[in-house]
Amino acid sequence: MPATRLTPFIPSHNPSMATALSLTHLGSLMRGVRSVDEVGADERAASLAKRSIKKSSKLWALDLAIRCMDLTTLEGADTPGKVAAMCAKAIRPKPGDSTIPSVAAVCVYPLRIADCVEHLRGSDVRIASVATAFPSGQSFTPIKLAETEQAVRAGAHEIDMVIDRGAFLAGDYQRVYDEIVAVKEACGAAHLKVILETGELGTYDAVRRASILAMAAGADFIKTSTGKVQPAATLPVALVMMESIRDFVRETGRPVGFKAAGGIRTAKQAIAYLVLTYETLGPDWMTPERLRLGASTLLNDVLMQIDKERTGAYQSPDYFTID
């Protein structure tokens, strides 16, 4: 992908481009996306996942995993009380231990933003809200935009939107692109994470196309999954997305963040994503500004692993607060 072809697509380079873009231009962008070596991606991800991180490096990685975590609850049964408890845990993951950092953000449904605003007041923990007819994205664009605007007004610092997979899989890239551009505009100052829902995209080639499309349309982060579809985040898919980010940054100079979400339940998995990030995007991405791990049940396992390293004894979930 030569820089000349991609540069005009970047909103920061061309703010009025959304309407000016024609289907042929976007088509040529999408055709220019190189295909992915599937076997190669699987093997590279598998070999990096085997890397052994021990002792002080492990403690550092676990600390980073917490600082990069989006503590998530996305259930129909979420109540203000449950969100309040999660917010308390987000600020101080382990009561009585100030050496454990706060997580990066909490991730909730739009209706629960107000609870987060109330309970996170005075802390550095950000509020992320899903929006745009999460998790399917199958709704009318004006409704998605209105939802985004209201979420930002309610106090969300970050918006996790889903792409319209129906349109993407049907080849209607223009529609997907325009929608992301419009949502980005509706976000205003809020950060936009674009969920590709890779489990529904089918191939690594499609994942790479969707990644480039989302970044070109102005995504601040690209995110693997909603967590509502199996398979959710996998290491090879993460690798494909990170390589897309790397290539995009190389060409445009605009850094884009990566968020893995769905199915990350153990500290070991989290460390594998950190290794993958380090090896693909480098040390500049080892920060919550550019890397997030979305998870609802990961935090306790990370805390248990930290205690295991500190005390030398295997830990029990009995002694940690409920997720």
Interface residues with other proteins (CB under 8 A)? 312-319
| Closest to other proteins by CB, 15 or 317 | 317
Q: How far is the CB of 270 from other proteins (least distance, A)?
A: 17
């248990």: which residue's tokens? 304
Catalytic residue status for 259: yes
From residue 304, give the alpha-carbon distance in Å to each of 86, 188, 260, 270, 323: 18, 39, 21, 13, 13
Task: Write out the two tokens for 310.
Answer: 């500190």
Catalytic residue status for 247: no
Distance, in Å, from the CA atom of 216 to the CA atom of 177, rounded to the nearest integer, reads 8
| Closest to other proteins by CB, 258 or 320 | 320
Task: Write out the two tokens for 159.
Answer: 């918006």
Catalytic member of 70, 144, 259, 301: 259
Catalytic member of 94, 144, 193, 223: 223
| Closest to other proteins by CB, 77 or 313 | 313
Q: How far is the CB of 55 from other proteins (least distance, A)?
A: 15
| Pairing relationship of beta strands 257-261 and 126-131 according to DSSP bridges | unpaired
Residues in the chain: 323
Closest CA to 162 of 281, 288, 74, 240: 74
Contact between 293 and 64 (Cβ < 8 Å): no
Per DSSP, the three-state class of 153 is helix
Q: How far is the CB of 166 from other proteins (least distance, A)?
A: 38
234: alpha, beta or left? (left if phi > 0; alpha if psi -120 to 50): beta
Catalytic member of 70, 89, 94, 160: 160
Q: How far is the CB of 52 from other proteins (least distance, A)?
A: 12
| Closest to other proteins by CB, 222 or 306 | 306
Closest CA to 131 of 80, 42, 193: 193
| Closest to other proteins by CB, 140 or 314 | 314
Distance between alpha carbon 230 and the CA centroid of its chain, in Å?
16
- Taking residue 35's Cβ as centre, other Cβ atoms within 10 Å add up to 10
Catalytic residue status for 308: no
From residue 125, give the alpha-carbon distance in Å to each of 67, 99, 219: 10, 16, 21
Return phi, psi of residue 170, to 5°: -80, -5
Q: How far is the CB of 310 from other proteins (least distance, A)?
A: 12
| Closest to other proteins by CB, 102 or 269 | 269
| Residues annotated as catalytic (active site), given as ranges | 160, 223, 259
